[in-house]
Amino acid sequence: MKIIGINASQRNNGNSYQLLKSALEGAKGESNGLIETKVLQLADFEIKPCAAHYSGLHEFKNWGCGKKPYKCILKDDFEEVFQRMIDADGIIIAAPLYYPVPAKLVALMERLMAIVYFAKKADKNYVWPLTGKPFGAMATSYEDSNILVLKILRKFGFIARMYLVREAKNKVFSVDAKGGVEKNPKSLGEAKKLGSLVAKILIKRKERAKKKREI
C-alpha cells in the first residue's frame, strides 16, 4: 500500500515538507512494513489553471474533460500528478497559507474537480479514480490562523469524493501548524497522528478485504 504526501508550497523543504515527513513517519510506524510513502513537491511540476474547455460559451457541449475519455486536454504535468494520486491508496496534502493557498494547488484542485464534475455529468457510469481514498489535510502559516486553508482542503477532499480522516467521535482530524513547525513543534506530533490515522484506515480495509475473500 502506498501513501503520497503532496507538498503544495513553492518552497520544497519548508514547514509543509516537515509536516509531511512527520505524517509519513507516523504512517510507516503503524504499518509493519506494509506501507510505502512518497512526497510529491508541487513546486517541481508545471500545472496550468483550468481553461474551462469543458463547454461552449453559452451551453454545455461536452468536450475537453466533459467528453470521453474525460481527460484534461491542457499539456503540462497535471496528468502525471493525477496519475500519482490514482496510484496511491492514501493522500495527504500540506499547504501553507498564501492568502488563501498557493496558486498551483488551486490549479490542481480546479482541474481535478472539473474532471470529476463534468465527466459525471456527461456519463453516470463514469468511475472517479480517487473515490474513497483516505485523505488528510495539513496547513501551516507564519502567524495567522489556518482555518481558511483547512476549509479549502477539506472541501476539496469532499468534492474529490475522498474519505476525510477522522478521530474519535467521527470528527474530521486535520493539522493546523499555525506559526510554522519551529514555533509550533506540537504540530509535528499532530502530523504524525494524522499519518498514523491514514495508515490505520488502509490496514483495516486490507484486513476486511482478506476476511471477505476467506468467507
Residue 199 cell numbers, joined: 495508515
The yes or no reply on residue 15 touching ligand FMN (CB under 6 A) is yes
Map grid coordinates 512494513 to a residue: 33
Compute the distance between CA of residue 215 and CA of residue 210 in angstroms, rounded to an integer.
Answer: 9
Closest contact distance (angstroms) between CB of 11 and ligand FMN is: 4
For residue 41, state whether it binds ligand FMN (rule: CB under 6 A): no
What is the C-alpha separation between 133 and 136, in angstroms, rounded?
10
If binding means CB under 6 A, how many residues of this protein chain bind ligand FMN?
Answer: 15
Separation of alpha carbons 209 and 191, rounded Å: 28
Q: How far is the CB of 150 from ligand FMN (least distance, A)?
A: 13
- Which residue's CB is nearer to ligand FMN, number 38 or number 205? 38
By CB under 6 A, residue 60 contacts ligand FMN: no
Among 75, 99, 169, 214, binds ligand FMN (CB under 6 A): 99
11 lines the binding site for ligand FMN (CB under 6 A): yes
Residue 79 DSSP SS3: helix
How far, in Å, CA of 76 to CA of 46, rounded?
6
Nearest to 48 by CA among 93, 3, 104: 104
Q: Taking contact as CB under 6 A, which single stretch among the options 49-57, 62-70, 95-103, 206-214 is the one that binds ligand FMN?
A: 95-103
Please report, as ranges, the residues that interact with ligand FMN according to CB under 6 A. Answer: 9, 11, 14-16, 96-99, 140-144, 180
